[in-house]
Amino acid sequence: MSKSIPFSARSWVHGSELTEFPIQNLPFGIFSEGYLGHCRVGVAIGEWIIDLSRLHALNYLSMLPFENDDFRSKSLNKMMMRGKKACSALRLRIADLLDSSQDAIVKDEFTSCLVKMSEAKMHLPVDIGDYTDFYSSEDHARNVGMMFRDPAKALLPNWKHLPVGYHGRASSIVISGTPIIRPCGQVNASDETQPSFAPTKQLDFELEMAFITFDGKPMGERISTAEADDYIFGMVLFNDWSARDIQRWEYVPLGPFLAKNFASTVSPWVVTLDALEPFRTIGPPQDPEVLPYLQYTGIKNIDINLQVAIHPENGNEVVVSNSNYKHMYWNMNQQLAHHTIGGCNMRCGDMLASGTISGPTEGSFGSMLEIAWKGTKPVDMGNGTTRNFIHDGDVVILRGYAEQEGIKVGFGVCSGKVLPAKD
Amino acid sequence: MSKSIPFSARSWVHGSELTEFPIQNLPFGIFSEGYLGHCRVGVAIGEWIIDLSRLHALNYLSMLPFENDDFRSKSLNKMMMRGKKACSALRLRIADLLDSSQDAIVKDEFTSCLVKMSEAKMHLPVDIGDYTDFYSSEDHARNVGMMFRDPAKALLPNWKHLPVGYHGRASSIVISGTPIIRPCGQVNASDETQPSFAPTKQLDFELEMAFITFDGKPMGERISTAEADDYIFGMVLFNDWSARDIQRWEYVPLGPFLAKNFASTVSPWVVTLDALEPFRTIGPPQDPEVLPYLQYTGIKNIDINLQVAIHPENGNEVVVSNSNYKHMYWNMNQQLAHHTIGGCNMRCGDMLASGTISGPTEGSFGSMLEIAWKGTKPVDMGNGTTRNFIHDGDVVILRGYAEQEGIKVGFGVCSGKVLPAKD
C-alpha cells in the first residue's frame, strides 16, 4: 500500500489545496483551545485543525489500534508508541475521510471535529527524550572552516567519513512563537586575557531541520540505513539559536555548551516522512566512499525549499536566505545508522537535527555568521540599519515547503523574537 | 531545622549502623519484588528497603505533602516534584520512625514495610530529562593534557575560568548490573589514512559522581551558587564508559559522541545532599579568581572516598584506583550556576556528572587511560594478565562512601560487566 496521497487528490475542506496543509500533507501537532483548554493531538488541513480525540470518539478511527487517550495528550508520544504502521494507516484514513468524494453525512460529522487554526494555540509536539545535532551540510562546514581554519583544509579529516554530531539540550527546545532572551555568558576574544561576562554580541540563528523518531531498538542494537525510514516519524523546522562569542571561548575541547543550550525553536507541525516521500531527490555524490554501515540504496535526500527572514522591530521583513534541505551531504538514514552503530538506543520522541543547512551559493547560507561572512558583509535591513548578527527586537522566521504539481507540502512557520538580556 | 541526623543516632533495624546505609544515610531508590513486581519508591536501611507506598498507606506519612501515587512509580520524579522541603521532611520523618527510641507498636507496624534487599531488584532511580557531563577535576584535565598536548600547557586557556561541560546521552544511562556491550565504531590512529570499522580496542571507565536536580526555574532564569543547594536532590556513582579510539577520531570539533553514548552506569541509591552535608570540606583554592557569578560562600566540596576495582573473568578483584570527590576543582554549586547562567532551564530528574575524578597522585587516577598512562604502565591483574584498557568479561566496580565517627554514608555499588562486541 502506498503511503502517498496522489497530487491529484482534493479535499472537501474549502481552499485547503491552496495552503501549505493540503490533503497531501496532514501533519500532526499538539493544540489547545482557549485559556485553560486541554492539549490534544491535531492534524492540519487548510486553515483548520482536526481534533483526533473527537474523531476517534465518533468511531471514525475504530478500525485502527489507537485509544482515545493517545489523542488526549500533551505530546504525540503516546500515539507514536503505536508504531509507524499504525500512524501511517491513521494518516491515510484521515485522507480518505477528507477526500472530496466523501459522503455528505461523513463530511457533516467530520466538520464537528474541526477547530479553526486561528483560534487554537500550538504546543511543543513531542516530549523530547534526547536531542542530537548533526553538522551535515558540506557548504556550512566548509564555510566555517574557511573562516576559522586553513581555507585550503576547510573540512576536517573526519568530516567526509562520518556524519559529525553532538548531543544537545532537550529542556530548552521551545515551540515557535516563544520569546528568546539574549543569553549572557563568558566571552574572551583572545585566549591571552581574562574573560569577561556580558550579553552575547554575536547572537545567531541556524537554519536546520530535525527529524523525530519512533521507539527504537534496545540498547546494543543497530538501526541500518535500510531500516532507518521505519524509525522516522516526521520532520520539523529547527532554529538552533547560537551565541558565537560564547561558543568560541568555551567549545574546545568538548564542544558547544552554553552557546547553544539557552534555546532552540521548532515549528509546531510534524510533517510525516510519508508525506515527504514524493519529494525524494538524489543527494550529493559521496567521495571518498563511505564505510559499509553508512552505505545506502535508494534516493534518500528530500527537496524542501527553506527560507529565513528577519523582521526588525521598526521595519519590514527581509529574506536573508533561500536554501534547500536537498543540499545535505549526509542523509537521515546515514545519521540514524551512525548514531546507533555503537549501540546507542533511540527512544520515541528523540529529535535529531541536521545542522545548519547552507547551499553552495551566497544567498543560500543558513546562518548570519556565513551570510555576513564574519561581519565583513553586513546585511542591509532596508530601514537604515544593518545586521552582522541578530538584534534585540528582531523576529527570526524560518519557513519551508516541498512543492510539486502545484501542491505545497509545508511546515508552517518557525519563529522567535529576541528580547534583551536580563541584568 | 537541621537536616542532618546526628552521628550518635542509632536505628532499631539490627546491624544497620555497620552498613553503608545507617540511619544517617536513608537514600532513595526504585525497587521491585519478584518477576513481575511493580516498581516503587524505597529507602535503604541496613540490608532492608523501606516500601514508602506501604508506609504511606499505614498513615505514617500523612502529615507530609505526598500522595500514595508519588511512591507507586517507576521513578523518583513524582516524589521529587513535591520539592526539596517536602523531600527533606520525608527523610527526617523516616529517621524518626527508625530511631531506636521508637515505640514497639511503631516498630512492629513499620517492619511490615521492610523488604529484604537481597530479594528486590533495583531500577534506574530517575526518569532523566537531560544529562550533562562536566570536566571538573584538575588532575584529570591536566593528565589528559600532558598525554595529548603540550605538557607545559596541559590545561587549556578556558579551564580555570569556567567549568567545562558538554551534553551527553540520557537514553543509554543504565542501572548498576546492566551488561555493557563493547561498542564498534570508526577508528583512525592517524588522520592521514582511511578510517576502519572495528570494536573499540580502548574501552575505558571513568570514575565520576553525578547529582540529580529538583525542578528548576523557567527558561531564561538563573540559579545562583547560593541557591544551588536548594535544587540538588542527591548524588549517585557514575561510570561514564568511554571508547578512547573512537573518541580520538570523532571528537574534533564538536566533542565526544559515539565514544560516550553507548552506555553510562549509575548506582541505584540516590544519597541525598542532606545526608552528605556533614561531610562538607574545603575545595582546592581557585586561582585566578573566578567571575562573580561563579564565586560562592561556604564550604562546598564533599569528602567522599571513591574506589574502582576490576574483576576479571578468571581471577580476583583488583583495586585500580582510590580517589576522592573532594579533589574537584569546580563544585556542584558552580556547575549549576554556570549551566543556567545563559538561561538554560533545569528540570526535575536532570543528571549532572562531575567528569572523571582523579586525585593528585598515582593510584588515585579515575580512568585506565591515566592509570596505565596511555599504555605505558600496564596494570598487573594478578592472574597472569595485564590491563591497559578493559577486556571482555571484566566487571568494573565503582564504590563510594563518606565516613565520620565510625558511621559510613555509602553509595553501594555501581558495576557493569563488559560483553564482547556484536558482529
CATH for A131-419, among 3.30.60.50, 3.40.50.300, 3.30.565.10, 3.90.850.10?
A: 3.90.850.10
* Of the partner residues A130, A197, A220, the one whose CB lies closest to the CB of residue B181: A220
Q: Do B345 and A172 touch (CB under 8 A)?
A: yes
Contacts of A257 in chain B (CB under 8 A): 164-167
Interface check B194 vs A, CB under 8 A: yes
Determine the residue of chain A that is closest to B221 in CA distance: A422
A389, A247 contact by CB (below 8 A): no
Q: Do A257 and B191 touch (CB under 8 A)?
A: no
* Best mutation target, B156, B162, B203, B291, to test chain A (most A CBs within 10 A): B162
Q: Which residue has the cell 547560593?
A: B226
pLDDT in tens, A356-397: 999 999 999 999 999 999 999 999 999 999 999 999 999 999
Kindly indicate whether the ipTM for this predicted assembly is greater than 0.85, answering yes or no: yes
Taking the CA of residue A249 and the nearest CA in chain B, the distance in Å comes to: 7
Q: Which residue has the cell 510519508?
A: A274
- Say how far apart CA B356 and CA B209 lie, in whole Å: 8
| pLDDT > 90? residue B238 | yes
Determine the pLDDT at residue A304.
98
Interface check A291 vs B, CB under 8 A: yes
- Say how far apart CA A227 and CA A225 lie, in whole Å: 5
Q: Do A254 and B165 touch (CB under 8 A)?
A: yes
Q: How confident is the model at residue A1 (pLDDT cuts 50, 70, 90)?
A: low
Determine the pLDDT at residue B1.
52
Cβ neighbours for A324, distance < 8 A, ≥ 6 positions apart: A303, A304, A305, A306, A357, A359, A364
Length of chain B in residues, anyone?
Answer: 423
pLDDT in tens, B258-285: 999 999 999 999 999 999 999 999 999 9
Interface check B252 vs A, CB under 8 A: yes
* Of the partner residues B172, B221, B291, the one whose CB lies closest to the CB of residue A344: B172
Determine the pLDDT at residue B190.
81
pLDDT in tens, B386-421: 999 999 999 999 999 999 999 999 999 999 999 999
Cell of B213: 536536580
pLDDT in tens, B316-335: 999 999 999 999 999 999 99
Interface check A251 vs B, CB under 8 A: yes
3-state secondary structure of A305: strand
Determine the pLDDT at residue B41.
98
Interface check B147 vs A, CB under 8 A: no
pLDDT in tens, B74-90: 999 999 999 999 999 99
**Average confidence (pLDDT) over A85-95:** 98
Q: Do A161 and B195 touch (CB under 8 A)?
A: yes
Q: Do B197 and A292 touch (CB under 8 A)?
A: yes
Contacts of A185 in chain B (CB under 8 A): 341-342
Taking the CA of residue A264 and the nearest CA in chain B, the distance in Å comes to: 11
Q: Do A195 and B243 touch (CB under 8 A)?
A: no
Interface check A145 vs B, CB under 8 A: no
Determine the pLDDT at residue A423.
77
Contacts of B291 in chain A (CB under 8 A): 186, 195-197
Strands B301-302 and B280-281, how do they pair?
Answer: antiparallel
| DSSP state letter for B11 | B
For chain A, the structural domain boundaries read 16-123, 131-419
Contacts of B225 in chain A (CB under 8 A): none
pLDDT in tens, B180-196: 999 999 999 887 789 99
Question: Catalytic residue among B140, B327, B338, B339, which?
Answer: B140
Q: Where are the beta strands (DSSP E) in B124-163?
A: 131-134
Cell of A405: 504539481
CA angle B321, B326, B331 (to 5 degrees): 125
B31, B120 contact by CB (below 8 A): yes
| pLDDT > 80? residue A236 | yes
Contacts of A293 in chain B (CB under 8 A): 197
B260, B168 contact by CB (below 8 A): yes
| pLDDT > 70? residue A59 | yes
Determine the pLDDT at residue A193.
81
- Say how far apart CA A393 and CA B225 lie, in whole Å: 31
Q: How confident is the model at residue A90 (pLDDT cuts 50, 70, 90)?
A: very high
B122, B175 contact by CB (below 8 A): yes
Q: How confident is the model at residue A247 (pLDDT cuts 50, 70, 90)?
A: very high
Q: Do A288 and B135 touch (CB under 8 A)?
A: no
Mean pLDDT of chain A: 97
| pLDDT > 80? residue A192 | no
Interface check A195 vs B, CB under 8 A: yes
CATH for B16-123, among 3.30.300.20, 2.30.30.230, 2.60.40.1930, 3.30.565.10?
A: 2.30.30.230
Strands B242-243 and B232-239, how do they pair?
Answer: unpaired
Contacts of A167 in chain B (CB under 8 A): 166-169, 255, 257, 261
- B391 is a catalytic site residue: no
Q: What percent of chain B has pLDDT over 90?
A: 96
* Best mutation target, B188, B221, B252, B254, to test chain A (most A CBs within 10 A): B254
Determine the pLDDT at residue B260.
98
pLDDT in tens, B13-41: 999 999 999 999 999 999 999 887 899 99
Determine the pLDDT at residue B405.
97
Contacts of A219 in chain B (CB under 8 A): 171-172, 174, 181, 262-263
- Say how far apart CA B217 and CA B337 lie, in whole Å: 12
B window 329-348, beta carbon within 8 A of A = 338-339, 341-347
| pLDDT > 80? residue A332 | yes
Just list the catalytic residues of A. Answer: 140
* Of the partner residues A168, A195, A345, the one whose CB lies closest to the CB of residue B167: A168
Contacts of B188 in chain A (CB under 8 A): 157-158, 161
* Of the partner residues A197, A263, A342, the one whose CB lies closest to the CB of residue B291: A197
